[in-house]
Structure 1
Amino acid sequence: AGLSISVVKNALYKVIRAVDSKAIGREIVVQGGTFLNDAVLRAFEQEIGHDVIRPTIAGLMGAYGAALYAHEKAQAAGKAMELSTLLSKEALEEFTHSVKAITCRGCSNSCKLTVNTFSGGRKFISGNRCEKPVTGVKSTEAQYNMFEEKRKLLARYTYKDTGKPVIGIPMGLNMYELLPFWYKFFTTLGYDVKTSPASNRQLYLKGQHTIPSDTACFPAKLMHGHVEALLDEGVDAVFYPCMTYNFDENLGDNHYNCPVVAYYPEVISSNIQKLKDTVFIGDYVGLHRRHDFPGKMYEILRRHFPNGTFTKKDVKKASDAAYAEYDLYMRAVRAIGDKFLALAEEQHKPVIVLAGRPYHVDPEINHGIDGLICDCGAVVVTEDAVACKEKKFPTKVLNQWTYHSRLYAAAKYVVDRADKRVNLIQLVSFGCGVDAITTDEVRGILHDGGKIYTQLKIDEITNLGAVRIRLRSLFAALDLQ
């Protein structure tokens, strides 16, 4: 009974987003296989306060609707007399289907593929992040993917073994944006910097035993593996500071980091026992206070490295170099965005602002969704490349987090563009409680501006079938517009 009621309430108030049970009306026909369950049907009727109609074909109504839609489209195109490709009754009686899971070795993605084989040797392959497993060749058409360009920018900050003490930085969460800052800071100060390896399933499993709660978002849980990997590589110190505030980009009412990004170092330090055997710098720092930062960092580093040879003047010099490097990185990101937008306009390509967080560029987190969008012929631009083009504007929610301010500004940018080919897709990680707020606000901004809102939820599950359907549906809807 509890399960049935929860299914109904979730559908009414979280999916349909009805204000109350009376808002959906009185004459109601239900459809879908779920409503063939009598308990769910009765829970629905009790929740809304009256009976509803359940057709005997409730579980097949979607299929009938698809067939009717295809028939109407065929008639409109003058193809009504063409023979259907549906199997005959005789062919259905001899129909066979088998499923096999394999790992593709066609490129570095190493996709986990599901190969469906049907009667007559026909196959359908899913789980691929590029077209190579399907076509046998990777597309040679030029793709404009800002996720890939940002990964290339970050790849420049590599480990150089000069014999100096090594600072290990876990590559996750806010470090996907702040790596240029911290890399420049520590190398200028006389340290070598080593980042953790690229995320993959094995790295996630390496740290899984130290995750205290499975309710956290996948990007946060992935940090455990990154820290464990750095410890295995024998770095002299792991640097992962708490940061209540982010840089103030003047787009919101404040400029906080979300609670997970801000304070996850506390979770890491409390649950990874091996950290007690090395230097862990998880102190609270504030990059937004540039004047105070050098003095604060000098105190932190002196506490962790009492025998260090650096002076306050050295830390100030390293700080100035770090702020300059971060500024160069962000300018490069925005320049690439401008370039891609210009190319899209010149080549008449659709543009998708793939709006999420800095860590969504991690292929293990986004599962290659950026590549799937490019395969649909679109140009992918990130939210931080266009948010800077907007000024602060009123929102219906308290706009107090830097990353979220970018989401709203990116949605406003899409709405303000006269070009109908520019649209937005929001990436949401399962377990992100704050995105319950951001999704409503981004949806509202886009809908008020006559744009389609599309959300893709991602976590450690890599089944991209639903994502492909959602993307194809979006582009079909945009073509109709």
Structure 2
Amino acid sequence: MSLTLGIDIGSTTAKIALMEGDEVIYRHYERHYSKVREKSIEIVESLREIIKDREFKVSISGSAGFGICKAVGIDFAQEVFATAEAIKFLEPDTDVVIELGGEDAKILFLSGGTEERMNGSCAGGTGAFIDQMVTLLAIDAKTFDEISLNYNKIYPVASRCGVFAKTDVQPLLNQGVNKEDITASIFQAVVDQTISGLAQGRKIKGKVMFLGGPLFFYKGLQKRFQESLKLDDEHAIFPEYAQYSVAIGVALCARMNSQSFTCDSLLAKLQESKNVASSNKYLEPLFANDEEYQEFLARHESASVDEVSIDEAFERNGFRKVDAFIGVDCGSTTTKLVIIDEFNRILYQFYNSNQGNPASVIHDQLQYIYENFGDKIHIKGSAVTGYGEELIKAGFNLDAGLVETIAHLKAAQHFNPQVDFIIDIGGQDMKCFYIKNKTIDSIMLNEACSSGCGSFIETFARSMGYDVQTFSQFGLDSKHPVEL
């Protein structure tokens, strides 16, 4: 019987399905970390032992697969069409298909008038959104899913964007709501986004097929969908091939192709795609040379704060307690704590993820400070700002809580009394404000999207397999930045 190979290269993962006749004889699923062409070659290499010298037909699908097809002339299969082909082949009596991917979501209505609905410019309510929430709660994806099954209460959480979701989730964390309830609430938000944003009033009924990686791996998400749509086990289908469905459909589409390949000839094509010149528009590098980079560093380092260790300050003070002041910034994703002396020198500083529980992070830090420096500093005052302001102020009896913009202004005027504009990019928000007559005159901030914020950069770095520091250095060293 003839062999057909379907390759589905999505925004975050690569999937393949090898069919012999009507039987799927091999399938594979893994993240590609944006190394799309390298991963395609690796996948085909892994098929050598199975296919050997036999010829086969192949098609490629997915948001990241189109570029390969365009570069080397391999047939492309549109993923919605491929999904429909797979369902007609595997479960022909299906009425509705709901599929969630890394960055896309779609609903296919197959009975009562065929219709397809798909998300547009926002990845809210998809796998990437869930990844962001996993990062925010500082637990692994498996634990996130497992604890969601033990919830007691569902809280309203927006899923249109990471900004809105985190704005809802962070107060829940600050209020001590257990993570079981929060994870289930996040899954419910994904369900609400899918139904309200895509179905848009059209009834989801009959036999409903749930496809895609998130709907295969997250049992808590399955449960929220089934309960929300009031589907029994006979009408809510979560197949074991959910994450391979598009690849199977692509393999079925490949039957119509005229061109056949061997592993060697397909690998040659894929290798060829690595050498095809990109049609992307390029920008100027951030720095023309190392001299420019060093000048940049020197200019920024000139606006630094003097630092002295607590031990040294204690010794300089004649071994008497040093007057100290504590400032805490409890943000959306990170917690910052600084101790300064009366001369505005930094005695101690801390910066880390709030690990989904900022109160615990602050508690541990204060305990460390008291145990190690309690006999060397006299805390004269304390203040807090950020998302967790009220919680931290009340929980640790801090003297004052400050609005974040006022804290920014105070710090900026310390460095430059004539400052007239401030821009701040945080974990999930960005804002800029104009200063007039040494007071804040107007403020602008992002509202509907967290694109371009810290969590966006962090998630992007992780999706490519790097930590933020490595990712940042690559950006600084880039000679040919691509316009995105």
> What range is the shorter-chain TM-score in?
0.3 to 0.5
TM-score by length of 1: 0.34
Q: Which has the larger radius of gyration?
A: 2
Which has the larger share of strand? Answer: 2
Structure with bigger RCO (C-alpha 8 Å, 6+ apart): 2
